[in-house]
A and B are shown apart, each in its own frame.
Chain A
């Protein structure tokens, strides 16, 4: 199938990178997570409950909603932290992007490894700006807050199109569709990667590809 691709762009100050990325990623994952499945006999299943919580940003006038799952939050913070460090160390123009990819696993026959077929990719391009005065920073706080509000509205709009979603799997297939490793919620299988780019858009030596879930491990 075709993979849906959405691109969002934000311009933030250095210290706002983490919160802005977390806001976007959590908003997407809020929509792409369900409660834990509990399969019963006869192929039926029940779904657990997803809690939500508000998160206030410290450096942006913005509040976002995330699923109440500390594990998920930790995982996201880890990768966003790495992205932020990479951005800072790159010394370039402060351009980078993160990709959140939802995929399905397709079992292949031995010796071939399972295929990962993405069905939705969210790309967030980040441009880091440096501000000189406190007043500019204050304005930036508000402006970035407003921008993020727009991004959330964009995300919700895409989610609402009710386009392709993987079929609800049977018990044997659930790990091909969902990430069942978390204790309290069950997001669709996803992976996050990031790239630091220079102004031309090509990746430089500090390109890294990090996987949250090493699904290719055999």
Chain B
């Protein structure tokens, strides 16, 4: 094969292929910078524009490409690949495209190197220019910015298409036959753009990973359009970019409203979640507590009013009553996605959202927003669980005040539904709201109208109550049939005992026992197979 091509042609061909590879990388990377590319035509040949196309050379990109090639050329079995991936500000990444420059064995002996091959390579580059604007990643790259950036990686060797997800599509840009083989340029691109939070980027450490960053102004507008201010190579990854936390459940960071600490209780910003420092932990705790309940006295400049859920007790209560439950609402995009629970057994508890500071320290068991919604929306009168927590977190001056930490730890018990567990509360005795002035027993809370205020008849004798229940009239309940009315029923059964199956020890034990007994049970069942079959037949 090699004897058919003379050495000069061979040299030319190698040179053409080498520069073609470099220009290919430039075109692809420049197409993913997120900007419109514009180069000028020049009627007089400058001699430095390969393939008669004005394609700028970004020095870093050339450098990386040369490094990847390491003096080799694409050959059979050795392809040059440019991988384009997307990386969000939280650190999740996803491969979008793989551009492959390959060589196969099909040779075209007759073709003229210096003329036809060269022109066809030029045509192929033009096709590449067109195709790079047409794949889905182009539109994504034009919109990159604060939420995500587009990265590229060049590697040489075998093509790896695993990261593209299911059903990726391939588009062939073109081929050029040469006496040494046929050069093929193609692109495999992801179709399924549903986001995956797996750390693919960390699975295969890139040879290089350069972030194409557009936040910064170009210092050299006339030359390189790209400002690689986040240029870094493997091994220099900072914690910010690749968070060291292994669990991928830190999804709370999607959107946080950052407000001054005195106002908004959820001032946790993304940074907090990414840097696991004790300071952050503390900070996390308090607002976590406050995230669920922040009981602040009237000056509740907490975020926005729409985040406040009025206290459940509808009757007679003003929504601007200080007993406002501050719940991190779903509106405003404040996430309250449950994080990894602090303790394994609580994992199933959908109603508990516990925030895991990255150091895994003990954290408050706080109800999730769903929980509070459930509680607040459905169980009118079931104030006790709230009360417990509210007692703990009530009367806080601000979200980040140190005082609540002690109170927080009160409820950071190692059991699910900690809020239901009876505990000693540090009530502020002096507070009239916590200890309502002697409330008459609940004889007829239904006397009076729905809107009667002032009558504290509904106040429960339950010391867990720190609400002043003025009146409690459950909707649609009649008071003349049974001696016990709905409201009383609710109050009496507010504090159900903890379910035995939910306690860790018992649960764990029974689970273990169950698992152990399974083989025996299976054996027994197998023995009785015939009976079962007969039974089934009787059914048919």
Interface residue ranges, A against B (CB under 8 Å):
27, 30-31, 34-36, 38, 46-56, 61, 63-65, 67-69, 149, 152-153, 155-157, 159-160, 162, 168, 183-185
Contacts and interface: CB of A to CB of B under 8 A. Distances in A.
Contacts of A152: 130-131, 133-134
A47 B45 contact: yes
Contacts of A162: 120
B438 to A, nearest CB: 63
A48 B42 contact: yes
A152 B132 CA distance: 10
A-B pairs, top 3 by smallest CB distance, nearest first, are: A160-B174, A51-B39, A53-B38
B54 A51 contact: yes
Contacts of B120: 162
Given A63-B133, A65-B133, A160 B41 contact: no
Contacts of B129: 30, 52, 65
Contact of B53 (A52, A149, A183): A52
Interface residues of B, number: 35
A153 B130 CA distance: 8
B171 interface: yes
Contacts of A49: 41-42, 45-46, 49, 52-54
B27 to A, nearest CB: 9
A43 to B, nearest CB: 13
A51 B135 CA distance: 22
24 contacts: A30-B129, A31-B123, A35-B45, A48-B41, A48-B45, A51-B40, A51-B42, A51-B54, A52-B129, A53-B39, A54-B38, A63-B133, A63-B142, A65-B130, A67-B41, A68-B38, A69-B41, A156-B127, A159-B174, A160-B123, A160-B173, A160-B174, A160-B175, A185-B41
A182 B171 CA distance: 33
A38 B130 contact: no
A149 B52 CA distance: 25
A53 B36 CA distance: 7
A54 B37 contact: yes
Interface in B17-69: 36-46, 49, 52-54
Interface of B: 36-46, 49, 52-54, 115, 120, 123-124, 126-127, 129-131, 133-135, 138-139, 142, 171-175
Name B's interface SS.
mixed
B39 A160 contact: no
Given A47-B52, A49-B49, A50-B52, A68 B127 contact: no
A151 to B, nearest CB: 9
Nearest to A157: B172
A160 B43 contact: no
A160 B53 contact: no
Nearest to B49: A49
A184 B41 CA distance: 6
A7 B173 CA distance: 20
A183 B43 contact: yes
Contacts of A53: 36-39
A50 B123 contact: no
Contacts of B174: 156, 159-160
Contacts of A155: 130
Nearest to B176: A162
B127 A160 contact: yes
A51 B125 CA distance: 12
Contacts of B172: 157, 160
